[in-house]
């Protein structure tokens, strides 16, 4: 049993500290736990690492972080870019500061300058810092919205986006080559500082990042008019958003920002929620309670690394607070940004583009096309949106106007190349102020948009399958769909079947096959009649298989009914496979 041998080697090797060995001794009689921790190395995927904190090769710990950083350092050396340095940020999770420091000291030991933030910072600011400092790469220690037992390690390249080809495969290959922990370099922090290889950053980056955000404001006049009237409830969900979100709103003049006190301060245990996800209703329990007390216009919550934004908006007619999904808030901001930039400037750039992912609502395309803009669809992951922005810059063709994905993330401006919940917070508050000058709420604006484009509704069903057996089952589900694609799903006929792993789109009526035009990915997508759709993909960050789907209705009620019926059919399909 190879995993047992690896387990024993960690216990006997003097390289590993006593605390780690003590943790491992505590599971000596639990073969299943030993296997889970040692049957493989924690996989360095296209977004980096993400896993449960603990001792073992398949866990997040200082040794796995060092080993991964050594692989990254080797790749940086291979492309001869050591002189540019690497920016490092971290969030409020357990072990985040320790992992960030271990990464910095490993880079320093390899002669690569590490720029490490003095305290926790949001993901988008790390993306911004990479470009601002001219770094070759960035490291962000975060597990985003995962439960408290998780942490992660995201790698960014010099364009400020998470790594994409060819750098992702190149870095992965170098990480895999590092097989002996004793070969991993590190050094004393004081020595690294003395050598100018460990540099603490903070205020200078904060200040210029803030200015970049504020430069995106379209209607400062509306903010000034409504700054004393608009009431905003905000929660950072124990994460990194507290200081930057409140700062940008204060500097713009918003006076009535009420912070959820119980969720204000950083806390890696996330004591007020089961997991800190702004997509979950429980994340808003405390915020909605406060909103009702102060009669707030909107309620906002950012996830721990502040790249995702959850939203609740008040319906002034009923007093009810409506949930805006990531698709809804993304479309609301898309419509606001495009309509108001056109109104202010008289027109939009002829080469203007909106970018979104294949699992994002079809409404995004409808909005972009109504303004005569190019709509670009990419694979799931904001790095692919960043890749398109880089392509515009390199070619001189294409103007990025807006990009978002269904998972509660968007980017306004090109200061960063990842989702930015701080700029989204700012923009939604600006939009709320603008619509308030028109006598409307954000919910009114949402209904106006539905009336203009159609009542799109999108949802997701997820199945969690943990452990080795779960991973195998997820692959089995994908292969079942791949080998036996459905011809009908619920009330809808399948018009075409896309297989992004095979790079094919098959027209079911004619049998005609064409390429998807996107990189290979284990994702299946079914275009249905009546502008409906279903997509199946394994999660890139959690042990889940996800079923995304969307419908288009004639009213909110009609869309809800159609979505519920399609969701029921999908669950029935899943049940047959489990």
What is the spatial distance between Cα 355 and Cα 319, in angstroms, rounded to a whole number? 34
User: Distance (Å, rounded) from C-alpha 578 to C-alpha 576?
Assistant: 6
Residues 6 or more apart in contact with residue 207 via CB below 8 angstroms? none
Half-sphere exposure of 572 (CA within 13 A, CB side): 8
Question: What does each C-alpha distance from 306 to 104, 289, 501 come to in angstroms?
Answer: 22, 22, 31
CB 567 within 8 A of CB 459: yes
Secondary structure string (H, E, C) spanning 517-573: CCCCCCCEEEEEHHHCEEEEEECCCCCEEEEEEEEEECCHHHHHHHHHHHHHHHHHH
- Which of 92, 96, 127, 144 is flagged as catalytic? 144
Report the distance separating Cα 293 and Cα 276, nearest Å: 23
Q: Of how many residues is the chain composed?
A: 578
Tell me how far apart the alpha carbons of residues 411 and 311 are, in angstroms, rounded to a whole number.
Answer: 16
CA angle 248, 251, 253 (to 5 degrees): 110
Supply the DSSP string of 457-486, one letter for each residue: EEEEEEEE--HHHHHHHHHHHHHHHHHS--
- Evaluate whether 519 touches 379 at the Cβ level (below 8 Å): yes
Q: For residues 347 and 339, give the distance between their C-alpha atoms in angstroms, rounded to a whole number.
A: 9
CB 12 within 8 A of CB 24: no
CA–CA dist 189, 107 (Å, integer): 11
Q: Active-site residue 316, yes or no? A: no
- Catalytic center residues: 144
């Amino acid at each position: 049993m190879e995993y047992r041998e690896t387990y024993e080697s960690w216990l006997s090797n003097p390289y590993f500290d006593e605390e780690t060995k003590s943790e491992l001794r505590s599971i000596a009689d639990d073969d299943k736990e030993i296997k889970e921790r040692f049957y493989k190395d924690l996989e360095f995927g296209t977004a980096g690492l993400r896993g449960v904190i603990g001792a073992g090769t398949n866990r997040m710990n200082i040794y796995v972080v060092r080993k991964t950083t050594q692989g990254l350092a080797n790749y940086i050396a291979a492309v001869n870019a050591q002189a540019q340095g690497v920016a490092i940020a971290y969030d409020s999770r357990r072990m985040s500061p320790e992992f960030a420091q271990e990464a910095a000291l490993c880079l320093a030991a390899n002669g690569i300058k590490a720029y490490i933030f003095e305290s926790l910072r949001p993901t988008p600011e790390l993306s911004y810092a990479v470009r601002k400092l001219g770094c070759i790469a960035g490291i962000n220690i975060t597990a985003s919205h995962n439960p408290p037992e998780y942490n992660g390690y995201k790698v960014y390249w010099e364009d400020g986006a998470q790594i994409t080809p060819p750098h992702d495969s190149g870095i992965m290959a170098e990480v895999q080559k590092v097989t002996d922990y004793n070969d991993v370099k590190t050094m004393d922090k004081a020595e690294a500082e003395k050598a100018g290889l460990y540099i603490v950053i903070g205020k200078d980056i904060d200040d210029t990042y803030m200015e970049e955000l504020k430069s995106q404001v379209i209607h400062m006049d509306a903010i000034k008019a409504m700054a004393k009237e608009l009431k905003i409830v905000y929660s950072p969900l124990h994460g990194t958003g507290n200081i930057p979100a409140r700062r940008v709103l204060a500097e713009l003049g918003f006076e009535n920002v009420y912070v959820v006190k119980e969720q204000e301060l950083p806390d890696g245990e996330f004591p007020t929620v089961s997991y800190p996800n702004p997509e979950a209703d429980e994340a808003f329990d405390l915020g909605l309670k406060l909103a009702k007390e102060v009669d707030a216009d909107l309620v906002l919550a950012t996830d721990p690394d502040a790249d995702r934004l959850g939203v609740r908006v008040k319906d002034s007619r009923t007093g009810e607070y409506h949930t805006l999904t990531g698709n809804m808030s993304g479309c609301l901001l898309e419509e606001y940004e495009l309509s108001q930039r056109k109104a202010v400037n008289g027109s939009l750039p002829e080469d203007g583009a909106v970018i979104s992912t294949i699992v994002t609502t079809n409404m995004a395309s409808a909005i972009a096309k109504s303004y005569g803009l190019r709509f670009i669809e990419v694979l799931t992951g904001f790095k692919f949106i960043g890749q398109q922005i880089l392509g515009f810059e390199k070619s001189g063709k294409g103007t990025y106007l807006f990009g978002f994905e269904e998972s509660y993330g968007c980017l306004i401006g090109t200061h960063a190349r990842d989702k930015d919940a701080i700029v989204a917070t700012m923009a939604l508050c600006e939009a709320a102020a603008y619509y308030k000058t028109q006598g409307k709420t954000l919910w009114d604006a949402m209904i106006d948009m539905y009336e203009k484009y159609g009542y799109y509704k999108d949802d997701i069903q997820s199945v969690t399958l943990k452990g080795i057996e779960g991973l195998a089952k997820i692959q089995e589900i994908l292969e079942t769909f791949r080998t036996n694609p459905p011809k009908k799903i619920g009330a809808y006929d399948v018009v075409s079947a896309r297989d992004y792993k095979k790079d094919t789109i098959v027209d079911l009526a004619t049998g005609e096959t064409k390429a998807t035009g996107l990189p290979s990915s284990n994702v299946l997508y079914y275009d249905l009649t009546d502008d409906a759709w279903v997509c199946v993909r394994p999660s890139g960050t959690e042990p889940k298989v996800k079923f995304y789907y969307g419908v288009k209705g004639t009213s909110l009620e009609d869309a809800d009914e159609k979505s519920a019926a399609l969701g029921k059919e999908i669950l029935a399909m899943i049940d047959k496979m489990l």
